[in-house]
Amino acid sequence: MKTILVVDDEELIRELYRVEMEEAGYRVALASTGEEALAQLESAKPDLVVLDIRMPGMNGIDLLRRIKATTPRLPVVLNTAYSDYRQDFSTWASDAYVVKSSDLSELKTTIQRLLQT
Protein backbone atom coordinates (compact mmCIF):
# COMPACT_ATOMS: atom_id res chain seq x y z
CA MET A 1 0.00 0.00 0.00
CA LYS A 2 1.36 3.41 -1.01
CA THR A 3 1.61 6.14 1.55
CA ILE A 4 0.56 9.70 0.76
CA LEU A 5 1.62 12.61 2.91
CA VAL A 6 -0.96 15.42 2.93
CA VAL A 7 0.40 18.77 4.07
CA ASP A 8 -2.28 21.43 4.72
CA ASP A 9 -2.92 23.92 7.51
CA GLU A 10 -6.70 23.55 7.21
CA GLU A 11 -7.83 20.71 9.42
CA LEU A 12 -11.11 19.97 7.67
CA ILE A 13 -9.29 19.70 4.37
CA ARG A 14 -6.78 17.30 5.83
CA GLU A 15 -9.67 15.20 7.14
CA LEU A 16 -11.52 15.27 3.83
CA TYR A 17 -8.38 14.22 1.97
CA ARG A 18 -7.68 11.52 4.47
CA VAL A 19 -11.09 9.84 4.19
CA GLU A 20 -11.13 10.22 0.41
CA MET A 21 -7.58 8.88 -0.06
CA GLU A 22 -8.11 6.02 2.34
CA GLU A 23 -11.24 5.10 0.45
CA ALA A 24 -9.15 5.23 -2.75
CA GLY A 25 -6.83 2.66 -1.13
CA TYR A 26 -3.91 4.72 0.17
CA ARG A 27 -2.31 4.96 3.55
CA VAL A 28 -2.47 8.61 4.57
CA ALA A 29 -0.11 10.61 6.74
CA LEU A 30 -1.01 14.15 7.73
CA ALA A 31 0.98 17.29 8.53
CA SER A 32 -0.37 20.78 9.35
CA THR A 33 2.95 22.64 9.02
CA GLY A 34 6.20 22.41 7.10
CA GLU A 35 8.06 21.31 10.17
CA GLU A 36 5.57 18.53 10.84
CA ALA A 37 5.87 17.47 7.25
CA LEU A 38 9.67 17.18 7.47
CA ALA A 39 9.23 14.91 10.50
CA GLN A 40 6.60 12.82 8.71
CA LEU A 41 8.93 12.45 5.69
CA GLU A 42 11.33 10.72 8.04
CA SER A 43 8.80 8.64 10.00
CA ALA A 44 6.06 7.79 7.49
CA LYS A 45 8.34 7.51 4.44
CA PRO A 46 5.58 8.59 2.00
CA ASP A 47 5.58 7.61 -1.69
CA LEU A 48 4.04 10.95 -2.68
CA VAL A 49 3.45 14.34 -1.13
CA VAL A 50 0.35 16.51 -1.59
CA LEU A 51 1.49 19.98 -0.64
CA ASP A 52 -0.43 23.17 0.08
CA ILE A 53 1.56 26.34 -0.62
CA ARG A 54 0.20 28.93 1.75
CA MET A 55 0.89 27.82 5.24
CA PRO A 56 2.01 29.57 8.36
CA GLY A 57 5.71 29.08 9.04
CA MET A 58 7.58 27.21 6.31
CA ASN A 59 5.53 27.54 3.15
CA GLY A 60 4.95 24.92 0.49
CA ILE A 61 7.57 26.22 -1.89
CA ASP A 62 10.32 26.12 0.72
CA LEU A 63 9.24 22.64 1.58
CA LEU A 64 9.24 21.67 -2.10
CA ARG A 65 12.83 22.89 -2.42
CA ARG A 66 13.83 20.83 0.63
CA ILE A 67 12.13 17.72 -0.67
CA LYS A 68 13.60 18.05 -4.18
CA ALA A 69 17.06 18.67 -2.79
CA THR A 70 17.07 15.60 -0.60
CA THR A 71 14.77 13.19 -2.37
CA PRO A 72 14.45 14.43 -5.93
CA ARG A 73 12.61 11.34 -7.05
CA LEU A 74 9.78 11.73 -4.53
CA PRO A 75 6.79 13.04 -6.51
CA VAL A 76 5.27 16.23 -5.17
CA VAL A 77 1.82 17.50 -6.14
CA LEU A 78 1.28 21.13 -5.37
CA ASN A 79 -2.32 21.59 -4.32
CA THR A 80 -3.32 25.17 -3.69
CA ALA A 81 -6.18 27.57 -3.93
CA TYR A 82 -3.92 29.89 -5.91
CA SER A 83 -3.69 29.19 -9.59
CA ASP A 84 -1.13 31.96 -10.06
CA TYR A 85 1.69 30.12 -8.37
CA ARG A 86 2.00 28.42 -11.72
CA GLN A 87 3.83 31.57 -12.83
CA ASP A 88 6.40 31.15 -10.10
CA PHE A 89 9.50 29.41 -11.43
CA SER A 90 9.99 27.67 -8.09
CA THR A 91 6.75 25.74 -8.39
CA TRP A 92 7.97 24.25 -11.65
CA ALA A 93 10.12 21.83 -9.77
CA SER A 94 6.98 20.07 -8.60
CA ASP A 95 5.72 17.09 -10.52
CA ALA A 96 2.18 18.40 -10.76
CA TYR A 97 0.15 21.44 -9.92
CA VAL A 98 -3.49 20.93 -9.13
CA VAL A 99 -5.72 23.79 -8.13
CA LYS A 100 -7.85 22.99 -5.11
CA SER A 101 -11.38 21.96 -5.91
CA SER A 102 -14.26 20.29 -4.09
CA ASP A 103 -14.13 17.78 -6.88
CA LEU A 104 -11.12 15.64 -5.93
CA SER A 105 -11.13 13.54 -9.06
CA GLU A 106 -8.35 15.58 -10.77
CA LEU A 107 -6.14 15.25 -7.69
CA LYS A 108 -6.82 11.53 -7.49
CA THR A 109 -5.98 10.82 -11.13
CA THR A 110 -2.80 12.91 -10.85
CA ILE A 111 -1.69 10.93 -7.77
CA GLN A 112 -2.52 7.69 -9.53
CA ARG A 113 -0.50 8.71 -12.61
CA LEU A 114 2.54 9.79 -10.61
CA LEU A 115 2.57 6.64 -8.47
CA GLN A 116 2.42 4.38 -11.53
CA THR A 117 5.61 5.73 -13.10
Q: Is 81 in the site for another protein (CB under 8 A)?
A: yes
The site that binds another protein (CB under 8 A) totals a number of residues, namely: 27
Q: Is 94 in the site for another protein (CB under 8 A)?
A: yes
Closest CA to 104 of 20, 9, 31, 18: 20
Provide the greatest CA pair distance for the chain.
Answer: 34
Q: Dihedral (C-alpha) 41, 46, 52, 57: value to the nearest 10 degrees?
A: -10
Residue 22 DSSP class: H
Residues 6-45 that bind another protein (CB under 8 A): 10, 12-13, 16, 19-20
Q: Is 92 in the site for another protein (CB under 8 A)?
A: yes
Q: Is 102 in the site for another protein (CB under 8 A)?
A: yes
- In what helix (H) or strand (E) does residue 99 lie, and over which residues does it extend? strand 96-99
33 CB burial (10 A radius; 0-12, 13-18, 19+): middle
Contact range with another protein by CB under 8 A, out of 29-37, 43-51, 63-71, 109-117: 63-71
Contact range with another protein by CB under 8 A, out of 25-33, 36-44, 93-101, 108-116: 93-101
- Which spans of this chain sit near another protein (rule: CB under 8 A)? 10, 12-13, 16, 19-20, 54, 65, 68-69, 72, 81-84, 87, 89-90, 92-94, 99-104
